[in-house]
Homo-oligomer: A and B are copies of this chain.
Amino acid sequence: MNPDICRERENATFNTETLTNMLDGSAEKTRRRREIESLVINDPDFQHDDPNFMSRSERYDAAVKKSSQMIMKLRDYGISDPEEIYFYKRCVHRGFSEPLDLHLGMFLTTLLNQASPTQLDTFFTPAWNLEIVGTYAQTELGHGTHIRKLETTATYDPSTQEFVLNCPTVSSIKWWPGGLGKTSNHAIVLAQLYTLGKCHGLHAFIVPIRCMKTHQPLPGVTVGDIGPKFGFEEVDNGYLKLENVRIPRENMLMKYAQVEPDGSYLKPPSDKLTYGTMVFIRAMIVGESARALSKSCTIAIRYSAVRHQSELRPGEPEPQILDYQAQQYKLFPLLAAAYAFTFVGQYMSDTYHRITGHINQGDFSQLPELHALAAGLKAFTTWTANAGIEVCRMACGGHGYLCCSGLPDIYVTFTPTCTYEGENTVMMLQTARFLVKCYRQAREGQQLSGTVSYLNEQQRLQPQPVSSRPTVVNINDLASLVEAYKLRAAKLVEVAAKSLQGELQRSISQEDAWNNSSIELVRASDAHCHYVVVELFAAKLSEISDTAVHSVLNTLALLYALHGITLNSGDFLQAGLLSVPQLSQITQRIKALLVEIRPNAVALVDSFDYNDEMLNSVLGRYDGNVYESMFEWAKRSPLNRTEVHESYYKYMKPLRSKL
């Protein structure tokens, strides 16, 4: 064990295990999570070499192997709780996505949600037993965000009682679905339904794409891998071109909409239930932001505790780089954000489950707010985490660029969250649409509740000009900072709403007014989400009974809030929420907070409790022995399998005689 990192742990002012238990939910949950993780870590079937040493085909192969074993073992162990399956799966694949993700996460769940009872009988058991391996084919080359314009068609032929599926253009080729390229033999295909000469919009169809015996593509099916990507090397994201592929009428998912044998069409009663899955996935991504950022912080902070460089004081030994203010200023706000997002992720998960309960009782009233919150927070947290991972990587200097640091893999695995399940700017605009609607309702005298209730107050504050409003912020008081974030959000929602109004007064259409206000609308959503995050962080503190843990998290919460103000100081000054002298005070206060956090930094990342196998980083090792491990890792690099690379004989040696 590296002595520096030992000393860090000795100097911490709180008990890491207490905080870990809090993050897991309870001591028992921590125990069980570790138990599940150790099942994987101690399982010889899941030992593997670094995927970074393999070709893409080898990585795909290894992932299929692990997924197959995982499915058998989960059944053998009798692990069936969704959270426990998640722990196990995450540990097996070390955080990477895998070829069966869409089969398990989308194909099976879509069957459960949208198949009729008869269809469930036909398809579910074979799918559960992996005779049918499926994916969910929605996105096309030409359409991702705007799915209403998908071009693939399913035309009903009453004479044979079949649907005929076609991708009529290049842009209508299905593109991106995970597991589609090589793994799946079925796909749930989203297509425009035509029957009796009329289009009824998008519906879902179960389409066999490969032979169940030979796994060869079926007639009319062109299917393959879409090629190498930024990360996701284990996943065979695929393309699918359908040409006159016929499927039985019974292969349209018919729990809601139906096509009868004669071709007549029955509309679905409501689409609100499918809407829930989308919200759920976005809410979960908030938790992924927390995980990606907390992993990155664990690596960068542990490494900064054992790396010594340059000199602070002449003649003294080189300090730990964690002692540099510039390094603390990079990492500690991200550490604070990692905690903030962890709590926001927990809140989103809890809220989703609470509201789902209401929905099952027919009460949809809280769904719009949750939908808006999930969209905005998905964008807000993924953008922050995405940039934060790279800050952590660069805070490790050159060594952060090595794959063995773990940071390049974290980045490429995480960055797609900014785009999939709703492109972030589109998400911010969706949230803005909700905020502007609420703003208008409040102006019309409606009483709003939930996270947007501040828009009620906004109306009360309205008559008072900003400049005469007293400065509200006490920079040492978290509640006061929450209030400032709230008023900033209120102000920016108002600015966005007024921009829309102004554009409309120039007598342009609603749509153009919306487009011409995008800058203000995105800013409003961002401010709203920022407020919600600060608010939830502050709220979490009230639940913490352990005084040592409370104290250190309170410091982090203050840092998170004050750092966010300095990054957006123009907004706070503009809204009259801060005075110019206060801005300098905030910088001083932030410096004091960095000093307060410094002795607890390593303990704070230890509390996330990533074991070395999960973290898979030589820089983030728990024991701090980074250089030895890096050297051992490098020696195993494929280029070192021979002392002399074949290119020497082929090119370099012959070249000499020619020059």
A-side residues, CB < 8 A to B, are: 52-53, 55-57, 60-61, 64-65, 68, 71-72, 75, 129-131, 133, 139, 141-146, 149, 170-171, 173, 175-176, 181-183, 214-217, 224-232, 236, 239, 308-314, 318, 323-327, 329-330, 386-387, 390, 393-394, 397-398, 400-404, 407-408, 411, 415-416, 418-420, 423-425, 429, 495, 509, 511-512, 515-520, 522, 566, 568-574, 580, 583-584, 587, 590-591, 627-628, 630-631, 633-640, 643-648, 650-653, 655-656, 658-659
Contact A75 B591 (CB under 8 A): no
Q: How far is the CB of A78 from chain B (nearest CB, A)?
A: 15
Is A226's CB under 8 angstroms from B643's CB? Answer: no
Among candidates B171, B216, B312, residue contacting A627 with C-beta atoms closer than 8 Å: B171
Question: Which residue of chain B has the shortest Cβ distance to A659 in the bound complex?
Answer: B129
Roughly how many angstroms separate A339 CA and B417 CA in the complex, as a whole number? Answer: 31
Return the 7 tightest CB-CB contacts between A and B, nearest first. A569-B570, A225-B639, A227-B637, A230-B408, A64-B647, A325-B518, A326-B518
Shortest Cβ distance from residue A410 to the other chain B in the assembled complex, whole angstroms: 11
Contacts A61-B646, A326-B429 given; does A224 touch B639 at CB 8 Å? yes
> Do A651 and B64 form a contact, CB below 8 Å, given A225-B639, A318-B146?
yes
Shortest A79–chain B CB gap in Å is: 15
Cα A65 to Cα B648 with chains together (Å): 9
Contact B131 A645 (CB under 8 A): no
Residue from B312, B318, B411, B638 within 8 A of A56 (CB atoms): B638
Contact of A659 among B75, B518, B637 (CB under 8 A): B75
Which label, helix, strand, loop or mixed, suits the secondary structure of the A interface? helix
B511 pairs with A643, CB closer than 8 A: no
In the complex the two chains form, is A403's CB within 8 Å of B228's CB? yes
Q: How far is the CA of A282 from the CA of B149 in the complex (A)?
A: 49
> Assuming A141-B631, A227-B634, A511-B314, is B587 touching A520 (CB within 8 A)?
yes
B contact residues around A228 at 8 Å (CB): 52-53, 402-403, 637
A60-B645 in contact given A309-B143, A419-B397 (Cβ < 8 Å) = yes
CB-contact partner of A394 in B324, B418, B520, B659, under 8 A:
B418
Q: Whole-angstrom distance from the CB of A268 to the nearest CB of chain B?
A: 23
With A and B bound together, what is the CA distance between A325 and B584 in angstroms?
A: 35
Which of B329, B411, B509, B637 sits near A518, CB closer than 8 Å? B329
**Residues on the B chain within 8 Å of A584, using CB:** 495
Q: CB within 8 A of A645: which of B182, B312, B655?
A: B182
Complex partner residue of A583 from B173, B415, B518, B574, CB under 8 angstroms? B574
